[in-house]
């Protein structure tokens, strides 16, 4: 055999093994062995988000490689908190999904599209993730029970993240018979875990301890199956969530025991994103115990771990917890800036629930120190962001704040005095806009027209204040320093 023929034979061998190689990488990925899965891909893996040269591969194998490289980029980018990794992963996965669709390979298309939804979910873009998953099920393809069960549980994640617990339960009910009859240890672990998660969230929202105790039992079962499946990251997640439930039950000794074990495992497994969430939970436990120095250390550790990655909803949650700690330690200015940062971080990915929670929590922490005008502005902002929240606890918190405002004699926060107030031609949005305008004029005046400094006085970013000036108060542009036009460059 001459050299040319030998090279052709070797190329055929490589190509014929691509699908098997990708399937092997998928199995390792399903076990949480992301680095090993990348190694299995060999020359096709050139780093997170890097597209390999696939020109010599036929479409089906090109699709398989793109979907694996994309999915692994998403997982590794999340665990290592690498900025921009989710966007690169989405590009690769989308290209793979398009190729599977062109080939009418429905099972691989469905699974790859669900991988894409996971990337959006990690970023906090929950609406986009839901649309993708609904589209997968809307095509009514004949999927295997294992694959259908897996994708149903991914839908559970989205519904839990948006606090739609009844919808999440509906997906679990659909997945249960499929997984109990056909599922392996990993899927059984996921089933128990998601069942626990729904009970956990409902117990926290409704303050029902029986839900929380049920969640602990299901987390224990989930951990058992995850260990049998040798998925140690998921086993650690079950440990972490059990610790969080013990925190809600005010059993802080057990809470810290489980959380400490979980954070040790996540750090050992190099999963920075999950470790950050554990530190955030530990900060909340320390807050409940009034151990503020420990709470601040844990909260700052959580923020530092996720501040450089793409998981904005998780970062917003960590920032909100840090802001609570700062306010209770007396660092009021830093606390206010951190609450605003939490809100804006959540809004950057369209997560109104987390953004509204940040504003609502700021109200709870500073209510007695706020002027009626600022209280009104924050309250209306929280109410607008959370108006579609399905969480019972969120509505209760808003109502408690309003009741307290009346009880402490600040009813004029909502209404002017009956003796002087005239309802004719009254407009609440216009009244709020005018109050806002007054504070912005005052801040710009004290800042000498410098928007950045004024934004700092108002507790917001330069970008947010500039947007408000352009959208709602364009007539205030005269109060800001006007930049001199730059000279034109001639090329």
To which residue do tokens 């076990």 refer?
31
Q: Is residue 401 within 8 Å of residue 367, measured between CB atoms?
A: yes
Q: CA 312, CA 302: separation in Å to the nearest integer?
A: 13
What's the average model confidence in pLDDT over 382-390? Answer: 89
In a domain, 228, yes or no: yes
Where helices occur in 124-251 by DSSP H, the ranges are 126-138, 145-161, 165-182, 185-206, 209-228, 232-248
Rg over CA atoms, the chain: 26
Q: Please determine, for residue 126, whether its predicted confidence score (pLDDT) is greater than 80.
A: yes
What's the average model confidence in pLDDT over 143-171? Answer: 94
Question: Could you please report the per-residue DSSP string of 30-69?
Answer: HTT-HHHHHHHTGGG--STTPPP--TTS-HHHHHHHHHHH
pLDDT score, position 418 = 41
pLDDT score, position 431 = 65
pLDDT score, position 442 = 75
Burial of 356 (0-12, 13-18, 19+ CB in 10 A): buried
pLDDT band at residue 9 using 50, 70 and 90 as cut-offs: very low
Question: Could you please report the per-residue DSSP string of 92-105?
Answer: HHHHHHHHHHHTT-
To which residue do tokens 């001199």 refer?
484
In a domain, 374, yes or no: no
Tens-digit pLDDT profile for residues 251-291: 999 999 999 999 999 999 989 989 999 999 999 999 999 99
pLDDT score, position 482 = 47
The kind and range of the H/E element at 484 are none
pLDDT score, position 12 = 47
pLDDT score, position 10 = 43
In a domain, 107, yes or no: no
In a domain, 177, yes or no: no
What's the average model confidence in pLDDT over 61-67? Answer: 97
Where helices occur in 386-427 by DSSP H, the ranges are 392-407
Quote the pTM value. 0.71
Q: Please determine, for residue 358, whether its predicted confidence score (pLDDT) is greater than 60.
A: yes
Q: How far apart are the first and last CA of the chain?
A: 60
Q: Please determine, for residue 219, whether its predicted confidence score (pLDDT) is greater than 60.
A: yes
Top-confidence residue, 158 or 372:
158
Q: Please determine, for residue 471, whether its predicted confidence score (pLDDT) is greater than 60.
A: yes
Burial of 111 (0-12, 13-18, 19+ CB in 10 A): buried
In a domain, 358, yes or no: no
Q: Please determine, for residue 67, whether its predicted confidence score (pLDDT) is greater than 70.
A: yes
What's the average model confidence in pLDDT over 295-311? Answer: 93
User: Encoding tokens for residue 201?
Assistant: 């969230």
Q: Is residue 166 within 8 Å of residue 192, measured between CB atoms?
A: no
- Of 251, 285, 301, which residue sits at a domain end? 251
Q: Please determine, for residue 422, whether its predicted confidence score (pLDDT) is greater than 80.
A: no
Q: CA 414 → CA 190, 386, 472, distances in Å?
A: 47, 18, 22
Top-confidence residue, 65 or 477:
65
Q: CA 361, CA 342: separation in Å to the nearest integer?
A: 11
What's the average model confidence in pLDDT over 455-483? Answer: 73
In a domain, 132, yes or no: no
Query: Nearest Cα to 313, choosing from 365, 358, 278, 283?
Result: 358
Q: Is residue 220 within 8 Å of residue 239, measured between CB atoms?
A: no
Please, what's the largest Cα pairwise distance for the chain? 104
How many structural domains comprise the chain? Answer: 2
- Of 251, 268, 294, which residue sits at a domain end? 251
Residue range(s) defining the domain that contains residue 446:
428-479
- Of 211, 232, 251, which residue sits at a domain end? 251
Top-confidence residue, 490 or 431:
431
To which residue do tokens 């700092």 refer?
456
Q: CA 70, CA 75: separation in Å to the nearest integer?
A: 9
pLDDT band at residue 470 using 50, 70 and 90 as cut-offs: confident
What's the average model confidence in pLDDT over 56-81? Answer: 95
Q: CA 26, CA 8: separation in Å to the nearest integer?
A: 28
The mean of the pLDDT values for the chain is 87
Share of the chain above pLDDT 70, in %: 88
pLDDT score, position 432 = 67
Q: Please determine, for residue 17, whether its predicted confidence score (pLDDT) is greater than 90.
A: no
In a domain, 193, yes or no: yes
Selection from 53-57, 110-114, 443-447 with the highest mean pLDDT: 110-114
To 10 degrees, what angle do helices 59-79 and 272-288 make? 30
User: Encoding tokens for residue 3?
Assistant: 């050299």
In a domain, 213, yes or no: yes
pLDDT score, position 390 = 86
Tens-digit pLDDT profile for residues 98-109: 999 999 999 999
Dihedral sign of CA atoms 174, 177, 178, 179 in order: positive
Q: Please determine, for residue 486, whether its predicted confidence score (pLDDT) is greater than 60.
A: no
Q: CA 244, CA 357: separation in Å to the nearest integer?
A: 19
**Angle CA 311–165–338, to nearest 5:** 35
Lowest mean pLDDT among 233-237, 324-328, 408-412, 436-440: 408-412
Q: CA 302, CA 315: separation in Å to the nearest integer?
A: 8
């Amino acid at each position: 055999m001459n050299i040319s023929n030998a090279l052709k034979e070797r190329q055929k061998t490589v190509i014929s093994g691509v699908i098997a190689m990708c399937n092997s990488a998928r199995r390792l990925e399903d076990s949480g062995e992301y680095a090993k899965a990348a190694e299995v891909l060999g020359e096709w893996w050139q780093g997170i988000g890097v597209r390999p040269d696939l020109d010599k591969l036929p479409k089906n194998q090109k699709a398989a490689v793109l979907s694996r490289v994309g999915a692994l980029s998403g997982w590794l980018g999340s665990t290592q908190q690498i900025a921009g990794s989710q966007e690169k992963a989405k590009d690769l996965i989308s290209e793979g999904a398009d190729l599977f669709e062109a080939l009418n390979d429905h099972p691989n298309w469905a699974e790859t599209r669900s991988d894409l939804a996971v990337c959006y979910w990690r970023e906090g873009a929950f609406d986009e993730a839901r649309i993708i998953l609904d589209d997968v099920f809307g095509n009514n393809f004949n999927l295997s029970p294992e694959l259908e069960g897996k994708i149903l549980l991914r839908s559970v994640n989205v519904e839990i993240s948006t606090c739609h617990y009844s919808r999440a339960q509906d997906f679990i009910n659909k997945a249960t018979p499929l997984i109990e009859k056909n599922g392996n240890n990993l899927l059984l672990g996921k089933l128990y875990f998601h069942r626990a998660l729904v009970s956990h969230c409902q117990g926290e929202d409704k303050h029902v301890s029986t839900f929380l105790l049920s969640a602990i039992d299901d987390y224990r079962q989930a951990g058992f199956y995850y260990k049998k499946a040798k998925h140690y990251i998921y086993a650690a997640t079950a440990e972490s969530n059990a610790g969080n439930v013990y925190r809600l039950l005010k059993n802080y000794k057990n809470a810290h025991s489980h959380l400490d074990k979980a954070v040790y495992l996540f750090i050992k497994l190099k999963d920075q994103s999950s470790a950050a969430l554990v530190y955030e939970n530990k900060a909340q436990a320390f807050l409940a115990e009034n151990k503020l120095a420990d709470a601040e250390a844990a909260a700052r550790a959580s923020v530092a771990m996720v501040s450089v990655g793409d998981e904005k909803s998780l970062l917003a949650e960590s920032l909100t917890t840090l802001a609570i700690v700062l306010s209770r330690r007396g660092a009021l200015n830093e606390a206010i800036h951190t609450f605003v940062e939490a809100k804006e971080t959540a809004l950057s990915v369209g997560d109104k629930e987390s953004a509204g929670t940040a504003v609502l929590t700021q109200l709870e922490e500073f209510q007695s120190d706020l002027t009626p005008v600022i209280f009104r502005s924050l309250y209306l902002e929280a109410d607008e962001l959370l108006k579609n929240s399905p969480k019972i606890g969120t509505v209760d918190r808003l109502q408690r704040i309003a009741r307290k405002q009346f009880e402490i004699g600040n009813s004029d926060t909502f209404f002017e005095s009956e003796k002087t107030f005239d309802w004719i031609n009254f407009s609440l949005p216009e009244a709020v806009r005018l109050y806002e305008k007054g504070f912005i004029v005052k801040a710009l005046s004290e800042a000498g027209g410098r928007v950045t400094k004024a934004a700092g006085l108002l507790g917001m970013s330069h970008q947010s204040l500039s947007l408000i000036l352009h959208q709602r108060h364009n007539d205030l542009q005269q109060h800001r320093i006007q930049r001199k036009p730059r000279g034109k460059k001639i090329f």
